Amino acid sequence: MDRQNVADQVNGIALAYMGDAIYEVYVRRHLLQKGISKPTKLQHLATHYVSAKAQAELIQKMTKEQLLEPRELEIFKRGRNAKSHTSAKNTDVITYRISTGFEAVFGYLFLQNEHLRLEKLATWCLHQVDEELK
């Protein structure tokens, strides 16, 4: 599979699998840069950024503010509508599916090597959560 075409050839769940890991790295780096170093505190704070509920709220804000490019919106829908064989933990199915779409966007951008766009969206998301936590 050609590296540039991987993102277009894998399903929405696979994109979300990649995106989950990528977004998690942004969150972890962000928390460390804030000077937080205790593992229990890091884990507790990270859930505010990476929970299905948080991700669903973020993607809904992105959509409302029209931050997503048309292709990214298509990828979100591909991830959201993908049939998952895992069940939602600690949230309802709709929230889980929306968060899967969020993760798919991050996975897609990473696999397409669109690192500047990825950084822009991740920074926006981190800022949104930081504002909520104030």
Q: Which of 2, 8, 20, 92 is catalytic?
A: 20
Number of other residues whose CB lies within 10 A of the CB of residue 66:
8
Give the integer Cα–Cα distance in Å for 90 and 71.
30
How far apart CA 76 and CA 66 sit, in angstroms, is 13
The two tokens of residue 25 are 């790295």
d(CA 87, CA 113): 30
Task: Tell me whether residue 130 is one of the annotated catalytic residues.
Answer: no
H or E element, residue 129: helix 115-133
Q: Active-site positions?
A: 20
